[in-house]
Amino acid sequence: MILLVSKKRSKKWGIPKGNVTASLSFGETAAKEAFEEAGVIGRVSPNSVGMFRAKKGTPIPRNIEVWVYLLEVDETLSKWPEKETRQTRWVSCKVAARELREPVLSHLCHCLAQS
């Protein structure tokens, strides 16, 4: 199963994303963003499973690199920092592959469905 998170400014679904800081590794940042945006806590994969480039921000969009890490969820919280501004939903890998418009994410979902 894949946890989708609503984007703040559109009705589209995505995955948690955030900026890396000097005090956290990429994987630790991924786990922190999953907590803040979706209220989940778990064990993050030690290595990235993929990367893609995207545009982020308004009114002046900038190009960013998104490094994807898997998180094995151990706990789902009833309250979290962005609960009031985001929706979450668990879906099958097949559904996630259709909903996520980024080709790298769709491919990863298809791979996860086969494992």
Pick the CATH number of 2-114 from 3.90.79.10, 3.40.190.170, 3.40.630.30, 3.30.70.1050: 3.90.79.10
pLDDT score at 11: 79
Using a 10 angstrom Cβ sphere, with 0-12 exposed, 13-18 middle and 19 or more buried, the burial of residue 93 is middle
Model confidence at 89: pLDDT above 90: yes
pLDDT score at 10: 79
Model confidence at 29: pLDDT above 80: yes
pLDDT score at 84: 94
pLDDT score at 88: 96
* Average pLDDT value for the chain: 93
Average pLDDT over residues 85-110: 94
**Torsional sign, CA 90, 46, 33, 13:** negative
Q: Sorting pLDDT into bands at 50, 70 and 90, what band is 33?
A: very high
Query: 13 with 6: CB under 8 angstroms?
Result: yes
Model confidence at 50: pLDDT above 80: yes
Q: Sorting pLDDT into bands at 50, 70 and 90, what band is 54?
A: confident
pLDDT score at 83: 95
